[in-house]
Every structure is written in structure tokens, then in C-alpha cells.
Amino acid sequence: MSYEKVIQAKIVIIGTKQTVRALKNGSIQEVIIASDADRYLTAKVAETATELNVPITYVDSMRMLGKACGIDVGAATVAIKK
């Protein structure tokens, strides 16, 4: 499951703006997007990841994704660094 990938990752980037910035820097191996997040928020991340051929994985819950990152709020997008 993708939540385990996030938990086991050494370095994760949380949030849409930071994820897009890291994608453009070329330091991301995978992007995880919460399916229940607003499409308006996640569209730029998905578009940028697709352009740069970075794999995208979708998970069910923003809340669970945030919890996997060790934060108390939901996370719409998370990037796993190389």
C-alpha cells in the first residue's frame, strides 16, 4: 500500500506548492495524491508529474496520507524524494 511507502520513505515533501517545486528540480521519484482532495489543488501536481514522467499513485484519504507523513492534518499531495 502507498501509505507504507510514505512511512518508509527517508525524505518526503508535503503540500502541493512544495511538490511542484521539487518536481521541477528533478529530485522526486514518486508522487502520491489523495483521491478525496480537491481536483483544483492537485491538478498542477498531476500535470507536472505527467510531463516529467514521474509515477503518480492515488490513495483514498487526505487524512490517512497526512497521518502517514506524521502530521495532524490531511495532506493532498506528497512527494517521495530520490
Q: What is the DSSP letter of 35?
A: T
Cβ(76)–Cβ(38) below 8 Å: yes
Distance between CA atoms of 52 and 73, rounded to whole angstroms? Answer: 28
Query: What's the CATH number of domain 2-81, 3.30.1330.30, 1.20.1530.20, 3.30.565.10, 3.40.190.10?
Result: 3.30.1330.30
Put simply, whether the predicted model's pTM sits higher than 0.85 gets the answer: yes
Name the pLDDT band for 2 (thresholds 50, 70, 90).
Answer: confident
Can you name the residues that pair with 30 across neighbouring β-strands? 80
d(CA 24, CA 58): 20
pLDDT higher than threshold 80 for residue 1: no
Per residue in 31-75, pLDDT (tens digit) is 999 999 999 989 999 999 999 999 999 999 999 999 999 999 999
Q: Predicted confidence band at 19 (pLDDT cuts at 50, 70, 90)? A: very high
